[in-house]
Amino acid sequence: MIKNAVIVGLGLIGGSMAKALKKYTDIDIIGVDINRDSLQKSLEEGVISYGMTDLDFQVDADVVFICTPVGKVAEKAKNILPYLKKGCIVTDVGSTKKIIMEEVQKFLPDEIFFIGGHPMAGTEKAGYDNADADLFVNSNYLLTPFDNVKEDVLDLFINEVIIKIGAKPVIMDYNKHDAIVGIISHVPHILSATLTNFAHDKCSEAFKYAAGGFKDTTRIALSQTEIWKDIICTNKEVILELLKNYREVLSDFICYLENDDIDTIQKFLEDARKYRNTIT
Confidence band (pLDDT; 50, 70, 90) for 122? Answer: confident
Please report, for residues 62, 85, 126, the alpha-carbon distance to residue 80 in angstroms, rounded to integers and kept in the order given: 13, 11, 25
* pLDDT for the residue numbered 126: 87
pLDDT at 10: 97
Nearest by Cα to 94 from 156, 8, 190: 8
Q: What is the CATH number assigned to the segment(s) 177-276? A: 1.10.3660.10
The single-letter DSSP state of residue 246 is H
pLDDT of residue 113: 97
For the chain, the structural domain boundaries read: 4-172, 177-276
Taking the CA atoms of 162, 181, 121 and 227 in sequence, report the sign of the dihedral they define.
positive
Report the CATH superfamily, name and number, of domain 4-172: NAD(P)-binding Rossmann-like Domain (3.40.50.720)
**pLDDT at residue 132 above 90?**
yes
What is the band of 125 on the pLDDT scale with cuts at 50, 70, 90? confident
- Of 47-56, 118-127, 154-163, 189-198, minimum mean pLDDT range: 118-127
Number of H helices, E strands in the chain: 11, 8
Q: Interior CA angle at 4 toward 37 and 69, to 5°? A: 50
Model pTM score: 0.92
CA-CA distance, 111 to 127, in Å (whole number)? Answer: 33
- pLDDT-derived band at 123 (thresholds 50, 70, 90) equals confident
Mean pLDDT of 240-268: 98
Separation in Å, CA 259 to CA 41, 94, 155, 264, 267: 60, 44, 57, 10, 15
Query: Is residue 124's pLDDT more than 90?
Result: no
Angle at 140 between CA 2 and CA 177, to 5 degrees: 100
Other C-beta atoms closer than 10 Å to the C-beta of 134 total 15
pLDDT digits (tens, 9 = 90+) for 160-211: 999 999 999 999 999 999 999 999 999 999 999 999 999 999 999 999 999 9
At 30, phi and psi to the nearest 5? -105, 130
Can you point out the beta strands (E) in the chain?
4-8, 28-32, 50-52, 63-66, 89-92, 113-119, 140-145, 168-171
DSSP secondary structure code for residue 142 in this structure: E
Secondary structure element (H or E) that encloses residue 27, with its range: none
Give 17-39 pLDDT, tens digit per residue. 999 999 999 999 999 999 999 99
* Mean pLDDT for the chain overall: 96
**Does residue 111 sit in helix, strand or coil?**
coil
Question: Which pLDDT score, from 0 to 100, does residue 182 have?
Answer: 98
Whole-angstrom distance, CA of residue 15 vs CA of residue 200: 34
